[in-house]
Amino acid sequence: MGSMITLGLGKMEIDWGKNNVFRDHSSLFQEKDVKPIPYYYVDIDTEKPIIEMKEGLAHKLSSVKARLDLLGYDLFSIKRLYNDSLEESEDFGFKIHFTFDDFYSTLTHIDVPNVNTPQIAVEYDENGYDLGEYVRKCILEDSQIKANLPISYFEKEPGEWCNPAYDLGVFFENIDPYIILRILAENPNNGDLEVQWRFADDVDSGWSKREEIVKPLSAKEKILIVTEGSSDSFVIKKAIDNLYPDIADFFDFVDMEENYPFTGVGNLFNFCLGLIRINIENRIIVIFDNDTVGIEKYELLSTINKPDSLLITKLPDFGEFLDIKTFGPQGEARENINGKAVSIECFLDFASVNQIPSIRWTSYNKKLDQYQGELISKDNYVRVYKGCSLTDGSYNSSKLNYLIEYLLKQWVCRRD
């Protein structure tokens, strides 16, 4: 039979391979996710399922969901991929009248803990470890689903027609497993279930090496974050490392120790122009400050066609910035600083420094008829941030959470 290597959610197998023919799922996991997990077999003599604990990769679906988004399997993308699969099936003569919404509804209503594909293997045949088998013999036979099963057919020879349920099962069997996994992640009841990649048998038999399975992300899968200054990158890196450890390995940063190459909005603007001209393929996020000069450059770049691999964005507006104390030519006031004076330091904990957060208007942009502002004593906020803990509750990281969620959404939705 060979050595099986399978990806599953609990006992629901989603993808499988044999010997050296399988899909590499290492990008769904981190090296720390290696641990003993259950392996499901069928006893040849008794034809009963047996379970053995062996080394594998496992992580909660709620965390894998975020990794799928960063790998390009967000909801918008999987709908496009699903429809592409439908079109491809038509090239082979299949007529699958099962829309993405039908598929989404079917999967989100599956009671995953009650799915037992190893048992299906016992009841039917040894090749039952796939979604097509399960969908065809279990899901599509459910009375509620069967009553609404769309018509599907495939003409083999004139006058000879296949079972619609068979055609639909074959279609599901060959669909990208990450589409399935991402939809299952939309059901909150599945969030704590573990996605498990069972590779031990393949490694033990010599078909694969462990380091080929348990490995870091490739350079093509990583995303480089570039900011106006080295302190900006430091703030974002620390926030991701501490608040989003399950996806922190996706992000790289320019060496911030010395001679940061993009200091200043002008250098960052020219860097973006260069990336666009060479049609860069590396995945990059460029972040401008949400101030007068940053907005000006950001809006200029927004009118230029860019490759999908490049996201040019800015720091977000935030409610707390609608009413901030300011100092300038008109004296002391309270103003909305969004779009005028929001730098990365504004997303740090204002209460961490013993002073009222204030903005000083530093220069006037005649073209925009607007002042450029800067957070007073911003270095003090950064200094405290460098020595603080973001995980013990002593530092208010709510604005940082908002910022990282905003950046993640900007990246995922960049092609919408």
Give the per-residue pLDDT at 146. 53
Q: Which residues contact 152 (CB under 8 A, 6 or more apart)?
A: 94, 95, 96, 97, 98, 164, 165, 167, 168, 171
DSSP class of residue 161? E
Give the per-residue pLDDT at 155. 42
Copy the structure tokens of residue 166.
Answer: 């068979």
Closest CA to 27 of 284, 271, 249: 249
Q: Which residues contact 130 (CB under 8 A, 6 or more apart)?
A: 13, 16, 117, 173
Copy the structure tokens of residue 244.
Answer: 């989003």
Q: Which residues contact 307 (CB under 8 A, 6 or more apart)?
A: 276, 279, 280, 281
Instruction: With beta carbons less than 8 A apart as the criterion, state whether 389 and 52 touch.
Output: no
Where are the extended beta strands (E) located within 336-386? 341-342, 358-365, 370-375
DSSP class of residue 21? B
The helix (run of H) or strand (run of E) holding residue 241 is helix 230-243
How far apart CA 152 and CA 382 sit, in angstroms, is 61
Amino acid at 82: Y
How far apart CA 107 and CA 180 sit, in angstroms, is 7
Mean pLDDT of successive 10-residue stretches along the chain, which has 416 residues: 80 82 94 94 76 95 96 95 86 76 83 70 51 56 51 44 61 85 92 94 92 94 90 94 97 70 74 79 91 92 88 96 92 93 97 95 82 93 97 96 97 84
How far apart CA 61 and CA 190 sit, in angstroms, is 7
Closest CA to 39 of 26, 29, 57, 53: 53
Q: What is the pTM of this model?
A: 0.86
Determine the 3-state secondary structure of 2 from DSSP.
coil
Instruction: With beta carbons less than 8 A apart as the criterion, state whether 112 and 10 touch.
Output: yes
Copy the structure tokens of residue 123.
Answer: 């009841």
Dihedral class, residue 258 (left if φ above 0, else alpha if ψ from -120 to 50, else beta): beta
Instruction: With beta carbons less than 8 A apart as the criterion, state whether 267 and 261 touch.
Output: yes
**What length is written for the chain?**
416
Domain ranges of the chain: 4-213, 223-412
Give the per-residue pLDDT at 396. 97
Farthest CA pair distance, the chain: 89
Give the per-residue pLDDT at 414. 87
Dihedral class, residue 369 (left if φ above 0, else alpha if ψ from -120 to 50, else beta): left
Determine the 3-state secondary structure of 52 from DSSP.
strand
DSSP class of residue 130? S
